[in-house]
Structure formats: C-alpha cells, structure tokens
Amino acid sequence: MRGSVEMAGVVLFHHVQGLTDGVLAFAEQLRAGGHTVHTPELFDGERPASVEEGVAFVRSVGGELLDERADRAVAELSGPLAYAGFSWGAAQAQRYAQTRPGARGALLFESCVPISGEWTFGPWPAGVPVQIHGMDQDPIFALEGDLDAARELVAAAGPELAELFVYPGDRHLFTDSSLPSYDADATALAARRSVEFLDRLG
C-alpha cells in the first residue's frame, strides 16, 4: 500500500522463446522497485532456441490455446493489475489492457498492435496509461510496423497517458540477459523507466 491506494500488481508475459532466465531477471528488477510481478508460464516449459523456432512453436500450439492459458493465469489473480510483456507477450499484455475491465496500465516491449485497421483490439481505452519500448532498427519492432503502431497509439492516447521510448540498435529481445540479443545499457534504462511508470500507477 502507498497511502490509501492499493498498488497494482504486474502480469509480465514472456516472449516466443519462453519464460527464460532473462525474463525472470527483468521481473526481479521490477520487484526490486517495490512491485509485485507475476510471470505466467504459457509454454509448459518449452524454450525455443530462436525467435524463428519460437514463432513456429506458437503456430504449432495455436493462438487460441495459448490465449486460454493466459486467461486462466490472469483469472487466478486478484486486485488491480497492470499488464506487461515482451514481443509476443506484449501483444498478450495489450489484449488485456484493451479488453479486460479495470486495467491499471500497460508496459509493451518490442511490440505494439495497431489500434485501427484490420487486426486490432479496438481503440485505446480512456484513462489507461501505457509505456512502449523498442529499438529503432529492430527488424521486427521497427521495420514490420509495430513502431508505426506505437506512434499512432501515443498520438491517440496523448502525452498524459502514453510514452514511447526508442533506443539505438537493431536487437530484438534486447532486455533478455539470457540471450545473445541482450543490451545491458538499454535494459537498465528501460527497467528504470518501467519502475517509474509503475510507481505512477500507485
């Protein structure tokens, strides 16, 4: 508790390479800032060796089943929740932020689903803060449309609710200390900004 406001718990969804040690390490950085962080395991322990293998794994399991696993994990939690995720997991986080009543906020790393167009969760909900992080030359985030979607979201939600932080580099999953794509300096800055964001949620 901070004052009379109940602090939001955080649900942090892993990326397509699974619930890696690097994802867990980032969760610990958020916990060190005083926040309760839940890290659902959606792949039943599978750790694909690359992003490409992870994408193939997601397709083999099926999005519907993975969504059901995420739904069960979230349903077991109580109290106010903010949603966070890395890449594929960020899309899960955005789904809840936009469709589950009572979302306190969203932290999206290296992914952003458009808020308009053919494939969308709809408009960004009023009053829900969001912070988005990614690298400016990431071939997935920057060059496949996610960065443009992030800019659209920030413009629509406004500066009081939405922030976009773009880091120099071309690495995807740069916050995962267990992967070759890890960037320690960018991760330290992203973690600090994320803790500050969560602090503002109460």
Q: What is the pLDDT of residues 37-88, one digit of tens each?
A: 999 999 999 999 999 999 999 999 999 999 999 999 999 998 889 999 999 9
Strand ranges, E, within the chain: 9-13, 37-38, 81-86, 103-109, 130-135, 162-167
How would residue 187 be classed by pLDDT, with cut points 50, 70 and 90?
very high
Residue of 88, 14, 91, 16 whose CA lies nearest to 51: 16
Query: What's residue 117's pLDDT?
Result: 84
Strand ranges, E, within 25-102: 37-38, 81-86
21 three-class SS: helix
Residue of 99, 111, 48, 110 whose CA lies nearest to 70: 99
49: exposed, middle or buried (C-beta count within 10 Å: 0-12, 13-18, 19+)?
exposed
Phi/psi of residue 197, each to 5°? -60, -50
pTM of the predicted structure, to 2 decimals: 0.94
Query: What's residue 6's pLDDT?
Result: 52
The predicted-structure confidence for 3-32, as pLDDT tens digits, reads as follows: 434 567 999 999 999 999 999 999 999 999
- Say which residue the tokens 């808020």 belong to: 115
Q: Which CATH architecture has domain 9-201?
A: 3-Layer(aba) Sandwich (3.40)
Across 125-133, average pLDDT: 97
> By mean pLDDT, which of 6-15, 82-91, 127-136, 181-190 is the weakest?
6-15
